[in-house]
Chains A and B, each alone.
Chain A
Amino acid sequence: MKPSAMSKRKLKESSAESAESISQVQKILRERFCHHFCAAGKLFGMEQQYRHLLELLRRTTVHGESNSALVIGPRGSGKTALLNHVLKDLREMTQVRENLLEVHLNGLLQTNDKVALKEITRQLQLENVVGDKVFGSFAENLAFLLEALRKGNRTSSCPILFVLDEFDLFVHHKNQSLLYNLFDISQSAQTPVTVIGLTCRQDILELLEKRVKSRFSHRQIYLMNSFDFKQYIKIFKNQLSLPAEFPDEPFAQKWNNNVQHLSEDKAVQDVLQKLFHHSKDLRSLHLLLMLAVSAVTVHHPLLTAADLQEASRQHSTDSKANIVHGLSVLEICLIIAMKHLNEVYDGEPFNFQMVYNEFQKFIQRKAHSMYNFEKPVVMKAFEHLLQLELVQPLERPSARAQREFLLLKLLLDSSQIMEALQLYPNCPTDVKQWAASSLSWL
């Protein structure tokens, strides 16, 4: 609690500190946490990959060498950030400037080759030549583009960089003809092109057709989040620190000192350790820090370990268990009945009638505080659970089947239910007891 006490004191000292600094901090940090791809940010633990990619693209632009490569890494490992960084640095090189055409495609947007071709034509600014007519036919469009690319050669044509985001989705296009053609151009003496694919799938090469695969140069750049916890702490510090050019210098100094203290704090390290164990990608770290930073106000100008702990708690709450907190006692009872059914029948599906029977047994034998509800009332409660997707029907409900006998499955684990019950406010004790005693109460 020492840091927080310290910050309290600091707060009093610097009560004059304008809200402006705070809002500045918020702005800078939020921008940093939200724009993961932003090239202004820093790259961590991918120097080798950075050099490889930069060199590759530099050779494309400077020597007109065609290439193809895949950047592979799990979600949030910084593939796009890496590429943006490389492109930014590349554009700053004198021998590269204005010498590279870029075409960015995304598998989620260009869902088939026809759309992709149009997009390529648009981004290469050839569409004003084409007019509307060529776009009438996919075939003509393809022939048009291939013709354009074929006419170029290594020494005179401007190199083109194709970036295929979500590369794995392009693989599902018919015949993979877009990929074939791009890779084919990259392997023949035509306009120099470099094809960079970004994907999170490790099995991407197995998805390529053999002739497409043969044309791909097999350069794979892996991003693996391969840093250890020490580096993780460093990244944490780095991400939270204010830049040197922050206008209010004393505040920035104070803030950075505080961050330094935080990184050495045991409680903070525990929080980070837990997060690190769950997921190494920086996106989840950003999310955590975002939650923590939003607690910073004028009255609470510096981050504390408690803020981070709170953020961590929010970050890791169980979404389904959260829903259970808001249920009525009757609905809780139904869920407990389902839990028992699951235990008795070993996860077999159940229907409303079975749940109702189980509930009736409880009412008759054990309940002291519970009122015996009518069946339609129970049904209503049950349907509410269905709407909340705490239970899920095995098949789509049809008009013919009676709703009481529709087979269902519970989407909660027993541990989740017990945990939720612990936190449930004013839970009747008999219900709690019933929940705890799985079979013994019979």
Chain B
Amino acid sequence: MIKKCLFICFSFSLGIMNTRQQSKLIYSWYGKPLGSDRKLRTSHYKGILITSESSKTETCIQLGDFILVEGVNADQPYVAQLVDLYEDGAQHKHAVVQWFCRLEEIPQNQRKMLKRDISAQEVFFDQVLGYDTDIAAETIIKSIMVIPLHLGEELPVITLNKEQTFYVKQSWDGKCFKVLSPDTFSKLKEANKTRGVITNSSKASIPSDIFTPVKKKTESVVRSATKPKKIDMEIESKHSSSKSSLSKERHSQRMANNDIKTPTARKKLELNSPTRSKGRLLGYEVLGLLDDDCDATAPLEQSATKRKVKFTNDILGSPPKIPCSDDKSKSTTQSAEHHQSDIMRLSPYTKVNDFSDEDKNLQEKDDVPSLGGYQSSQSPVVTPRSRRRCVQKTSALIAEQISMLDQEDFLSDSDSSYSLSSEEKEDDDDDDVPCTPEKKTKSNRILSTPKSSRKSAVHTPAKTLRKTPLKGTPRTPRNATPEIPRRIQATQEPASVLEEARLRLHVSAIPESLPCREEEFQDIYNFVESKLIDGTGGCMYISGVPGTGKTATVHEVIRCLQQAAENDELPPFQFVEINGMKLTDPHQAYVQILEFLTGQKVTATHAAVLLAKLFSTPGPKRKTTVLIVDELDLLWTQKQNVMYNLFDWPTQRHSKLIILAIANTMDLPERIMMNRVASRLGLTRMSFQPYTYKQLQQIVSSRLKGVKAFEEDAVQLVSRKVAALSGDARRCLDICRRATEICEFARQKRAPEMVRMAHVTEAIDEMFSSPYVNAIRNASLHEQIFLKAILAEFRRAGVEEATVQQIYHHHVALCRMEGLQSPTVSETMAICSRLGACRLLLVEASSKYLHMRVRLNLSQDDVMYALREE
């Protein structure tokens, strides 16, 4: 029964695990308001308490502390220093922060300026303007350490708590790196100190200190191995809900968990809670709760995004689709959650806790059988303090038991592979779930920005591509980025004028500027620029026949905007491009967009959910996203939900999403889109007209600037011809390129030749002449007679369709007239199928033999013209 229940819980929680890792976190102020502003109706506080309901832990974060803030990517929470905390008139809790940026947040091309290797633990003091420093307090995850160092200084070797300690050496202002000013340096140093003082003082004020005995134990273990200084804080932060804790830590935590979180311990807490003053938990309790929470989550945390907390805050109560879990969690954890029930938010995540608790119960029983009895005997008389003591005692016992294990672990923790594998094994064992999602998370860490991932594999030649180990995490094949092998011999540079011209005329050659599309360029540029400056979203629909420079112009716009953003003229933005033709299924669009934005690789439905979250919730530090959707018409689905979502996101307040949709048909919105989709697309449209001959001429001559390879008239002829047919610039360039080849063939030895009219005419003929006439003229005699027989039969019957039998009779008659031996039926059938294969004829399936019907695939006049010439 329990097992089944567990299974259900678990399978359920797995479902949401990937989306968010939701734990009921309650944020409350610590201490009295320091001061309040009547006018703004804000009151400031010196600290904030984060209470995790499910595991009954509290953590206190005070001004000046360094914190992790939820980011776009679950694995890369932002690092910041808490500057201010206040509550506004609408009872929303705000925090003002000083950002630090990680290496991953710095554009790839500017990382080079550092000219040194950056450890993953190094952050930069962020002086980039334009980031919102005012964030919702609910996005704070936990406190961490940021230690300022001088530039030359080596990073202290920290074997423990790598994830929780960051170092800052330089500042980053969006363009260059600077050494920390002494002022900031001392401030940061100060912050660390004061923070230590605060924790210490809180320790002093509360006799049973912040740490559970287990921690003390581990602490003592660690002390021998690592620097004694700051160890308190490190351990504290280690045990405070760690989202991206290393697996080795998890392992140790895991070991500890198994012992700590016995049902009795839980019961004790439950018993405790009524006696506790409502609404405020003491600091150490918070920590305890948080501890439990994090321990429970640690083994399961996977690709959850850090946005989850915010999500729960935005949507009060539980997501509607998971009512059963709520019931469940209520029933199991309600008693423990009397306090602060006014802001109680049930979330599926509690589920996980339940499960893991129970799960541990099961494991526990044979592990420490005496424990339960001991604790339960204590439980009825506990006061908060005595409880703490008893917990200490029990935990001390447990800790003793496991310390050996831990020790081993900690001593060898610089090598994560062992614990990693054991961790995974463990996962498999007790979770009975594949650990693939976890692997994914790890790889995501590598992939945090698409750029970096790409770069990481560049150096590997494709034939012998090996997985590049990064940060010791195993690379899954999913992230292997392949490469076409390098060429062995260098490319030859163009030797002659014609070759040079050909190179420039290739469609892929990117000209410095796009001639003849200045107006369109300006329109699109203005549109995107204005949206960027406003920080809003919007859609634009761009249409035009193929080869009119739609995609090229849009790319040019993006290039210019990126340039401007680099020069600080515009706020920075992210650029994402998808192409309907390069997707196997319209829903894959979500996957690609998400991968571009966050580096996560998830399924289409999941990606849709994540993206909807991303664009519907306000995110601090999130840049505007410019999304190009090429070949929009291929994103059409029966329900049109892909298009609907794409165009719906920009309309949301916080989306900061600009969409440039490109397609061929001008009236696509009216033709294939439902009203609600078309309405969201809006009326910002632009259509690219086919190029006129003058424009084509300008395009060609601008590419040929400085190369004297074409006669003026020749270019004009091509332009006029193409403009009359399609106005496709690609065609124009292709013809010119072909003309250079023809010219090269025809030219005499070493004589510098220009492409003349004759060459161009030949190229045009080659590309545009109908192949049918030529094919008929080169057909064999009987094939020609067969075509004549078809014409004769058509004329006789007056219908443009005939059976082979009828045609055969005419054929025999014609042969007799010509004095030729008449072919057998088999031969005639062979002729017919040959002509059918060339599609000069359209024929039915050959099983009908003589009764197979035949039609001409070209007009009778063409056939007559082709045959008469002979």
Binding site for B on A (CB under 8 A): 51-52, 55, 62-66, 72, 74-75, 95, 98-99, 101, 113-114, 124-126, 128-134, 138-140, 142-149, 151-152, 154-160, 175, 177, 180-181, 184, 187-191, 200-203, 210-211, 213-215, 217-220, 222, 224-226, 274, 276-280, 316-321, 347, 389, 392, 409, 411-413, 415-416
A–B complex contacts, Cβ < 8 Å, 29 sampled: A62-B492, A74-B775, A125-B462, A125-B463, A129-B482, A133-B478, A147-B481, A151-B458, A151-B483, A157-B484, A158-B486, A158-B488, A159-B487, A187-B508, A191-B484, A202-B839, A203-B857, A211-B631, A211-B664, A214-B728, A217-B730, A220-B767, A278-B827, A279-B830, A280-B780, A317-B826, A409-B851, A411-B849, A415-B812
Q: Are A181 and B581 in contact (CB under 8 A)?
A: yes
B367: interface (CB < 8 Å): no
Interface stretch among B41-49, B154-162, B291-299, B582-590? B582-590
Least CB separation from A177: chain B residue: B581
Contact call B838/A200, Cβ cutoff below 8 A: yes
Is B774 in contact with chain A by the CB < 8 A criterion? Answer: yes
Least CB distance from A234 to B in Å reads 17
Q: Which of A140, A213, A318 contacts B824 (CB 8 A)?
A: A318
- Chain A residue with Cβ nearest B780: A280
* Interchain CB contact under 8 A, B509 and A75: no
Q: How far is the CA of A65 from the CA of B505 in the complex (A)?
A: 11
In the assembled complex, which residues on chain A have CB atoms less than 8 Å from the CB atom of B584? Answer: 113-114, 138-139, 142, 177
* In the complex, chain B residues whose CB is within 8 Å of the CB of A55: 741, 745
Q: How far is the CA of A287 from the CA of B634 in the complex (A)?
A: 48
A155–B509 Cα gap in the complex (Å)? 13
Do A412 and B824 have beta carbons less than 8 Å apart? no
- State A319–B486 Cα separation when bound (angstroms): 56
- How far is the CB of A93 from the nearest CB of chain B, in Å? 11
- In the complex, which of the residues A74, A131, A177, A214 contacts B582, with contact meaning CB atoms closer than 8 Å? A177
In the complex, whether B638 has a CB less than 8 A from a CB of chain A is no
Question: Which of chain B's residues have a CB closer than 8 A to the CB of A276?
Answer: 780-781
Q: How far is the CA of A65 from the CA of B488 in the complex (A)?
A: 16
**Interface presence of B782 (CB below 8 A):** yes
- Nearest-neighbour CB distance to chain A for B657, whole angstroms, equals 22
* B507 in contact with A187 (CB, 8 Å): yes
Query: Interface code B446-487, partner A: CB below 8 Å = 1, 0 otherwise?
Result: 000000001000100011010000000000111011111111
Partner of B734, one of A99, A217, A274: A217
- B480, A278: Cβ atoms under 8 Å? no
Contact status B546-A211, CB under 8 Å: yes
Q: Is the CB of B485 within 8 A of A154?
A: no
- Partner among A125, A201, A214 whose Cβ is within 8 Å of the Cβ of B838: A201
Give a binary string over B796-831; 1 marks a CB under 8 Å from any A CB, 0 the rest: 000000000100100010000000110111110011
Interface string of B712-744 (1 = CB under 8 A from A): 000000000000001010110011011001000
- 1/0 contact trace for B765-778 toward A, CB 8 Å? 01100011011001
Known A202-B775, A214-B546, A413-B805; contact A149-B484, beta-carbon cutoff 8 A: yes
Alpha-carbon distance A222/B741, docked complex (angstroms): 17
List chain A residues, Cβ under 8 A from B499: 63
Select which of A114, A215, A222 is within 8 A of B774 by beta carbon. Answer: A222
Known A66-B508, A187-B507: A319·B826 in contact at CB below 8 Å: yes
Q: Would you call B477 and A131 a contact (CB within 8 A)? A: yes
Residue in B458, B483, B780, B837 whose CB lies within 8 Å of A201: B837
B654-668 near A? 1/0 per residue, CB < 8 Å: 000000000010000
Q: A75-B834, A317-B826 are in contact. Are A202 and B840 (CB under 8 A)?
A: yes
Shortest CB distance A177–B (Å): 5
Q: Please, which residues of chain B bring their CB within 8 A of the CB of A220?
A: 766-767, 771
In the complex, are the beta carbons of B481 and A277 less than 8 A apart? no
Q: How far is the CA of A392 from the CA of B850 in the complex (A)?
A: 11
A319 to B506, CA, bound (A): 54
Flag if A188 contacts B484 (CB, 8 Å). Answer: no
- In this complex, what residue of B is CB-closest to A143? B592
Kindly identify which residue among B489, B823, B827, B848 contacts A95, using a CB–CB cutoff of 8 Å. Answer: B489
Q: Does B593 contact A (CB under 8 A)?
A: no
In the complex, residue of chain B having the shortest beta-carbon distance to the beta carbon of A178: B581
Give complex CA distance A25, B780 in Å. Answer: 31
Q: Are B825 and A416 in contact (CB under 8 A)?
A: yes
Q: Which of B823-863 contact A (CB under 8 A)?
A: 823-827, 830-831, 834, 837-840, 847-851, 857
Which residues of chain A come closer than 8 Å to B370, judged between CB atoms? Answer: none
B497-528 contacts to A (CB < 8 Å): 499, 502-503, 506-510
* A225-B826 in contact (CB<8A): no
Q: Which residues of the other chain, B, contact A203 by a CB distance below 8 angstroms?
A: 839, 857
Question: With an 8 A cutoff between CB atoms, is B545 at the interface?
Answer: yes
A184 to B507, CA, bound (A): 10
Across-interface contacts of B585 in A (CB, < 8 A)? 139
Partner of A278, one of B482, B484, B782, B838: B782
Determine the distance from Cα of A129 to Cα of B464 in the docked complex, in whole angstroms: 8
Within B186-200, the residues touching A (CB, 8 Å) are: none
Residue B599 CB within 8 A of the other chain: no
Distance in angstroms between the alpha carbons of A389 and B546 in the assembled complex: 51
Check: B491 CB closer than 8 A to any chain A CB. yes
Cα distance, A32 to B358, chains bound together (Å): 78
Contact B482 A148 (CB under 8 A): yes
Cβ A98 vs Cβ B484 within 8 A: no
Q: For the complex, what is the distance from the CA of A396 to the CA of B656, rounded to whole Å? A: 63
A157 x B839 contact (CB < 8 A): no
CB distance from B829 to the nearest CB of A (A): 9
- For the complex, what is the distance from the CA of A231 to the CA of B774, rounded to whole Å? 19
Which one, B458, B477, B486, contacts A129 given CB within 8 A? B477
Partner of B778, one of A95, A200, A226: A226
Complex Cα–Cα for A132 and B492 (A): 38
Complexed CA–CA distance, A217 and B545 (Å): 16
Apart from A134-B478, A158-B487, A218-B734: 10 A-B pairs, beta carbons within 8 A: A129-B462, A148-B482, A158-B488, A201-B838, A203-B857, A211-B546, A214-B546, A219-B767, A278-B830, A280-B778
Residues of chain A within 8 A of B839, CB atoms compared: 201-203
- Closest A residue to B546 by beta carbon equals A214
The answer to whether B581 and A184 touch across the interface, beta carbons within 8 angstroms, is yes
Question: A214 and B483: CB pair below 8 A?
Answer: no
A278 to B508, CA, bound (A): 46
- What residues of B have a CB within 8 angstroms of the CB of A160 in the complex? 484
A140 and B826 form a contact (CB under 8 A) = no
Given A202-B771, A222-B774, CB of A151 within 8 Å of CB of B480: no
Q: Which residues of A contact B825 (CB under 8 A)?
A: 318, 320-321, 413, 415-416
Nearest A-chain residue to B818, judged by Cβ: A277
- Top 7 nearest A-B pairs (CB, nearest first) are A131-B477, A214-B546, A224-B778, A318-B824, A129-B465, A277-B781, A148-B482
Bound complex: CA A214 to CA B688 (Å):
15
Q: Is B547 an interface residue (CB 8 A)?
A: yes
Check A129/B491 contact, CB under 8 A, given A139-B588, A320-B826: no
Question: Is there a chain A Cβ closer than 8 Å to B629's Cβ?
Answer: no
Assembly CA distance A226 to B779 (angstroms): 8
Known A-B contacts A139-B588, A202-B839, A214-B546; the reply to A277 vs B820 at CB < 8 A is: yes
Question: Is residue B371 within 8 Å, beta carbon to beta carbon, of the partner chain?
Answer: no
The reply on B591 being an interface residue by CB < 8 A is yes
- Are B465 and A128 closer than 8 Å at their CB atoms? yes
Residues of B within 8 A of A52 (CB): 741
Residues in A with CB closer than 8 Å to B783 are 279
The answer on a CB contact under 8 Å between B850 and A158 is no
Q: Verify B546–A63 contact, CB threshold 8 A.
A: no
Query: For B494, B823, B826, which residue has the most chain A Cβ atoms within 10 angstroms?
Result: B826
Which chain A residue has the least Cβ–Cβ distance from B545? A210
- A143: chain B residues within 8 A (beta carbon): 582, 592
Residue pair A95, B582 in contact (C-beta under 8 Å)? no
Residues of B within 8 A of A413 (CB): 805, 808, 825, 850
What are the residues of chain A within 8 A of B592 when measuring CB–CB?
A: 143
Whether A316 pairs with B824 at a CB distance below 8 angstroms is: yes
CB <8 Å contact, A98 and B546: no
In angstroms, Cα B857 to Cα A62, docked, is 41
- B477–A202 contact, CB under 8 A? no
